Amino acid sequence: MSTTVGGMLILVGETMFLFSMLNFVLVTRIQYYNPGDAYMRQLFPNYLLFLGVLAAGALLAMIFVYIFILPSKMVFSQQQAVKDERSPTHNLLIEVHMELQELRGEVDSLRQAIDKV
């Protein structure tokens, strides 16, 4: 399979993150200055305080994702990479490991032969 699809998916994902941050700031302004709902202005007298509380919430969410979600995703992706011999690098590593075990066996047998002499 071509790497173009995966590359485009990564590129779009990274770009959408930047647009999402801009969209988040614009939506917070709409929510804060909504004339029909003054609750946010009563709870947070300043827009920057409101934005700071939202940023703190986002920071807590990022810490949660970093501690719990990312390790799980990494383990899952590593398991998927080696499943059904999908990874040529992993396959080569297994092959080299088997050859290394064979060489160690040969070296041990040569050592035993030398020790007998």
Supply the pTM of this predicted model.
0.59
pLDDT tens-place string over residues 27-55: 999 988 888 888 888 999 999 999 999 99
- The model's confidence at residue 99, banded by pLDDT at 50, 70 and 90, is very high
* Amino acid 1: pLDDT: 61
Q: Domain map of the chain by residue range?
A: 4-86
In terms of Cβ atoms closer than 10 Å to its own Cβ (0-12, 13-18, 19+), residue 82 is: middle
CB atoms within 10 A of CB 89: 9
User: Residue 44 in contact with residue 50, Cβ under 8 Å?
Assistant: yes
* Amino acid 75: pLDDT: 93
